[in-house]
Amino acid sequence: MKLVFAGTPDVAVPSLEALVESHHEVLAVITRPDAPAGRGRRLTPSPVAARAEELGLHVLKPAHPRDEDFQAQLRALAPDACAVVAYGALLPQSALDIPRHGWINLHFSLLPRWRGAAPVQRAIMAGDPAIGTATFRIVKELDAGDVYLSQSMATPEETAGELFGRLARSGATQLVQTMDLVEAGQTPTPQREDGITVAPKITVPEARIDWTRGSEELRNHILGCSPDPGAWCELAGERFKIYRARLAEYADLAPGEVAATKRQVFVGTGQGALELLEVQAPGKRRMSAIDWARAGVSGRVLS
């Protein structure tokens, strides 16, 4: 089939590369406009735009997909379908109607669970035993379209960033398989009406750690918020971030109380303890918890 690919961040790049390597023809790439980045806040192309240019593909960067000039360019390309991975803008019906097989999205959850912007983060934070990806035809209602393929696995003990990378690679193969099914004329399956949950973006206030919660719940909270926005608490009145932690057996620590040995750093919770693995103290870079603890932390309390 003749395809147009739409995507923006790093997690979309494996799918672009997989489609280019498939027997389908990628006519062009749609991505978000260049945005300020880095210390100099210079306008920088998205990761997908940068990779598309390396591959010699035509790149479209509409301010919004409802723009008439953009839609005219898309009609001229006449794609059979548009493949989408984390494009980052809502698609109006006038754009959805252009390709004859519609827009097919790779979503990072087991739909209908976790429709929305932060599906991987929410699944980790909720302690879901399984996680995965689904491909579906985009409709006006958010992430509610009929599903072509769904692929699941047991949720590993990884940060949201690490798990996004893993799912981006496996999902790239899934998206190519989906395009093969679309080409073969397969009809997608409507989503279940039960079990629908939404996954809004995680805010900085929401990422704050409440040390009275149990250790497993807090481990999931920390991994789900890592790397962005980063789970945080306060140490001596200043923000202290924790990027990675795991369950630990360490008795007699009050919620937020810190203790350290030569090789490990522990913190008490409302039920059980955590071993801190990667942290960022105020004014410091991210570092291993044991490096941070060498300055002496026993008896200190995170709040």
Q: Give the separation between CA 76 and CA 68, rounded to whole angstroms.
A: 12
Binding residue ranges for (6S)-5,6,7,8-tetrahydrofolate: 109-112
Provide the strand spans (E) within the chain.
Answer: 2-7, 25-30, 35-37, 42-44, 58-60, 81-85, 103-107, 130-137, 147-154, 231-235, 238-248, 258-260, 265-268, 273-280, 287-288
Binding residue ranges: 109-112
Residue 198: strand pairing partners: 115
Nearest Cα neighbor of 214 from 151, 127, 149 is: 127
The bridge status of strand 130-137 relative to strand 238-248 is unpaired
Q: Under 8 Å CB-to-CB from 283, ≥6 apart: which residues?
A: none
Q: Provide the 10 A C-beta neighbour count for residue 211.
A: 20
Tokens of 41: 């806040």
